[in-house]
Chains A and B, each alone.
Chain A
């Protein structure tokens, strides 16, 4: 258990928006090929933390951060090219966000921007990514229809496939099932368990049970503070902090 590689290291990360703190000196690591669940009530800094990792927070002019985030041992602000970083660290959003173009084009979008133009190569990427996201069988006959016609669960799997098309190493999930029914949720969770073999996953979720179902380790955030991070089983049976216990047993949140 000790000799697992640390894919992501977060050191003393403090984030503020317009001076208001959203995350206070968080320290944690994410190991390769694990699913790290992040739980906590609203405004606890979960999403902030996630959006820092692929520098999506850069889009918000009010955002300031201190501390250090290393991915593969390299500082994300000093040693990573931001566009390379975002390809390596994919993201799936809370609401499915297919682009208003065809299914095929949604998947080819990232690779194309990356300079892949061979039709044959793109077709391979599209098929491979859709298969990995368990969507291929449902859409293989209508790749050129608008992605907006898919159901919510299919759209979310499309977004996962779209991320996979860029051959990432880390995938961030920001409450990916918050708008989905239980069956679609189960399909996404199956996909995540499968993806863990090849990728490192971080799952932010409001659904404590989901974190218990799929993650290897769980981090609990409360009001911008990382309260506790440990093996899922330990968090849910013998949490060290009283606040963690209070949250998972439903006393607040």
Chain B
């Protein structure tokens, strides 16, 4: 009997430890990120860092303004959002509401497959196919531009948007659809007036998580956006994102240098952005539960 109780205790303790571990790891990472990142502000002011126009980390003295990098991320993310959100929403509506059974399964598998492609693979396919095409179509000196990155990232955000939104559409009770159809409404009227509004919070969450995916993406953008740390004036100029900067420069900095701390500080900014996006997605999903 006491053996059994002992066994029970060990199992419970193990499960508790595993459960708590994830929180501890997150906290440790967060503390480390803050500790290293905040060191920068002993040397550089917060305002100068966030709104400085020049990123010359290895000049003497280094100039560590990340405005070009923030804008680079914003341009690419904005472009990817504009492309992927309408496409993703339309795709989810087609899969969830319109496609007949077999086609639905094929499309769902396709979307999952798209999600399974490693971003580096999408990156080099983009590099050899999309980049020359952008250069030719728009008549640019180089195809390594924000727009190339946006198109590529749109492909990465699509699966997230489609699969989460499709879940949201599935969660709309069948009775809503039948009730509407039985009143003589057409299928599109039913989708637009009943299904989409009912699933709106899930759709917002899907879009937010898709954007979160885009903001955090590194390899593909590093390969095809040109990596010029200058303030981008249009979609057809090369840009460099925050993620690409960290990935490209972390290996070459001297530990404990201003440059090193600055890269961590960029990490904090990225963390803050994705945190806010996830929080908004969470609010959108949670808001639903309160209403019904």
Contact B183 A97 (CB under 8 A): no
Contact B179 A159 (CB under 8 A): yes
Tell me how many residues of B have a C-beta within 8 Å of chain A: 21
Indicate if B292 sits at the interface (CB-CB under 8 A): yes
Contact B179 A97 (CB under 8 A): yes
Q: For residue A89, give the distance in angstroms from its CB to the closest CB of chain B.
A: 9
Binding site secondary structure of chain B: helix
Contact A166 B184 (CB under 8 A): yes
Indicate if B249 sits at the interface (CB-CB under 8 A): no
- Which B141-198 residues have C-beta < 8 A from chain A? 173, 175-186, 189, 193-194, 197-198
Instruction: Determine the residue in chain B with the shortest Cβ distance to A110.
Output: B183
CA distance A100 to B177 in the complex (A): 11
Contact B178 A166 (CB under 8 A): no
Q: For residue B121, give the distance in angstroms from its CB to the closest CB of chain A.
A: 37
Contact B175 A93 (CB under 8 A): yes
Contact A99 B194 (CB under 8 A): yes
Indicate if B256 sits at the interface (CB-CB under 8 A): no
Among A61, A101, A109, which residue has its beta carbon within 8 angstroms of that of B183?
A109
Indicate if A14 sits at the interface (CB-CB under 8 A): no
Interface-centre pick from A90, A93, A109, A114 (highest chain B CB count, 10 A) = A109
Interface residues on A, range: 20 to 34
Q: For residue B258, give the distance in angstroms from its CB to the closest CB of chain A.
A: 55
CA distance A132 to B268 in the complex (A): 63
Q: For residue A216, give the distance in angstroms from its CB to the closest CB of chain B.
A: 24
Contact A56 B184 (CB under 8 A): no
Indicate if A87 sits at the interface (CB-CB under 8 A): yes
Indicate if A84 sits at the interface (CB-CB under 8 A): yes
Contact B182 A100 (CB under 8 A): no
Known: A59-B178, A61-B101, A148-B292. A84 touches B183 (CB 8 A): no
Contact B178 A100 (CB under 8 A): no
Interface-centre pick from B101, B185, B186, B292 (highest chain A CB count, 10 A) = B185
CA distance A98 to B77 in the complex (A): 40
Among B101, B184, B197, which residue has its beta carbon within 8 angstroms of that of A83?
B184
Q: Residues of A at under 8 Å CB distance from B?
A: 54, 56, 59, 61, 83-87, 90-91, 93, 95, 97-101, 109-110, 113-114, 148, 159, 162-163, 166
A-B residue pairs, 10 tightest by C-beta: A97-B175, A110-B183, A87-B184, A97-B179, A86-B184, A91-B182, A113-B185, A83-B184, A113-B189, A100-B198
